Structure 1
Amino acid sequence: MSKEILLYPIVTEKSMSMTEEGRYNFIVVKNSTKLEIKDAVEKMFNVKVAWVNVLRTHGKKRMRKASIGMTPSKKKAVVALMPGFKIDVITNI
């Protein structure tokens, strides 16, 4: 079940700097809750989660040549781990 909730990690310069503080960013399923995300991270990576913050990004209009489209809406989760725990995001997903 944890594979279905966590879609993929966000690997950007900002998110990689947050990993030094023990915070990890993931794109998650839109209807998942904070408790489901916490349980999924703990089971998948064998770590203890301190807290989870969730935010939604809505799709934006984008124009390509003559057609207008939308970027997809996403749900992001910022997961903070207890001190002493780490996740190697690049190799574990």
Structure 2
Amino acid sequence: MEKVRAYDIIVKPILTEKTYTLMGEGKYTFEVSRDANKLEIREAAELLFNVKVIDVKTMNVKAKPKRLGRHEGYTRQWKKAIIKLADGYVIKELQGNM
């Protein structure tokens, strides 16, 4: 897999209080491309961050209805992946934000 393609698969990290707690367990959360499968996400994470991935869990986040005055619409749909790393591996780029 090329690095350019890997950047298209992993869009951005999700940094919330809950995901910081998961980082202590070796689990990292990312927004990923909606058409990416678990194998592609695993390969992209291993290539970009030089880590060993044990498990990938994915979920589709559905759009929610929103209103602002009389204007109605929906938030966007997106896909989330939780990546579990092997013992001894960390993603230093995300650990620096803690």
> Per the shorter chain, which TM-score range?
over 0.9
1:1-93 map, 5 Å: 1-88=5-92, 89=94
> C-alpha distance in 2, partners of 1:34/1:6?
11
TM-score (norm 2): 0.90
Q: Once the two structures are aligned, what percentage of the paired residues are identical?
A: 35
How many angstroms does 1:52 deviate by? 0.1
> C-alpha distance in 2, partners of 1:17/1:40?
23
Structure 2: where are the runs of 5+ without partners? none
> C-alpha distance in 2, partners of 1:86/1:58?
30
SS of 1:63's partner is strand
Amino acid at match of 1:43: L
Moved more, 51-60 or 82-91: 82-91
1:21-46 Cα deviation digits (max 9, x unpaired): 00000000000000000000000000
Q: How many residues align?
A: 92
TM-score (norm 1): 0.95
Structure 1: where are the runs of 5+ without partners? none
SS of 1:85's partner is coil
CA-based RMSD of the aligned residues comes to: 1.4
- The runs of at least 4 consecutive aligned structure 1 residues that moved more than 6 Å come to none
